[in-house]
Amino acid sequence: MDEVIRVRAEAADAGLRLDRFLADAVPDLSRSRIQKLLDEGRITSTAAVTGSGETAGLKARDKVREGDLYVISLPEPQALEARPEDIPLDIVYEDEDLIVVNKPKGMVVHPAPGNETGTLVNALLYHFGDGLSGINGVLRPGIVHRIDKDTAGLLVVCKTDRAHRGMAEMLAVHDIERAYHAIVYGNFQLDEGTVDAPIGRDPRDRKRMAVCEDGKRAVTHYRVLERFGNFTYIEARLETGRTHQIRVHMRSIGHPLLGDPVYGPKESPRIPGIKGTDLDGQLLVAKVLGFIHPVTGETMRFETGLPDTFRRVLDALRKGR
């Protein structure tokens, strides 16, 4: 059965684009989702001012009028199913309890609407079948933490529930070493520093995160590795692990990540030998992962190299210095 949501426009809403108004009024629906529902005719309106009846055929660009009632009919969601897919995995380490994987840039960690296939979970299911921890459910088997689609690098996947619980406890008390390398805009005054600023949903755009007073505490420590005038190569270490933490924190202090399509500048960077189209996402890699093995108690530490695009940009910056 369809879920029905009703939203009435107030005086302050008059003149807003319909898709923007409804996305702000219904936090669980993104603007793109609203646009799709409009295209499918699943949003109708009753014009209170004119007294006219229910109308369909609404467009995203339509202007909202005070008093109009909008009715959104949401179809029953389809259940997602994670299916095994023969996708190569770069396995850095494996034992009876856990796996350390070097995730490539462009791969989503677990299935979600819009990304049902081609994910790390689909690949893990093919290579390990039922031999993964079930604590996080069928869509996230063995997944303890994740990194963004366009961030490459190391993450741990648990085979046993015992290992999963142990890793989750270490994450909760910030007892895991996680060091990232990134190239950011601008030059730093100091060689190292800390950003301690809470992160939550951006109130102006639900698809983004932002530094905000009512967010969750987030701490990032950074140090300069190389300076290139208009750009800087840095290491960032996570004390906490919020969504988009490094990307949001660097933007908040005036140093957004190079290539970041969400938090970076809209114009292409000027780097000799590098086209803007070469940067298909932020230059960020989860380079170091260290922890105490949750079952054996052994100290584990792994480090990966830099992806090809990252290295090419670094080389170009060094030549132009």
Residue 306 has which token pair?
């830099």
Of 287 and 205, more confident: 287
316 lies in the same domain as 195: yes
Tell me the mean pLDDT in the region 59-81.
Answer: 84
Of 218 and 172, more confident: 218
Q: Which of 13, 68, 97, 148 is catalytic?
A: 148
* Domain endpoint, select from 74, 97, 116: 74
Question: Which secondary structure element, helix H or strand E, spans residue 34, and what is its range?
Answer: helix 31-39
CB 151 within 8 A of CB 263: no
Does 148 qualify as catalytic in the annotation?
yes
168 lies in the same domain as 227: no
Residues 6+ apart with CB under 8 A from 178: 237, 238, 241, 286, 288, 289, 290
CB 143 within 8 A of CB 110: yes
* Burial tier of 162 (Cβ tally within 10 Å: 0-12, 13-18, 19+): middle
* Domain endpoint, select from 74, 97, 125: 74
Residues 6+ apart with CB under 8 A from 260: 247, 251, 281, 282
Tell me the C-alpha distance between 292 and 303, whole Å.
15
Q: In the 8-state DSSP scheme, what is residue 1?
A: -
- pLDDT bin (cut points 50, 70, 90) of residue 48 is very low
10 lies in the same domain as 124: no
195 lies in the same domain as 315: yes
41 lies in the same domain as 106: no
202 lies in the same domain as 311: yes
pLDDT digits (tens, 9 = 90+) for 73-82: 887 766 668 8
Model confidence, pTM: 0.77
* Domain endpoint, select from 115, 148, 173: 173
Our count of domains for the chain comes to 3
CATH number of the domain where residue 120 is located: 3.30.2350.10
Q: Which domain holds residue 29?
A: 3-74
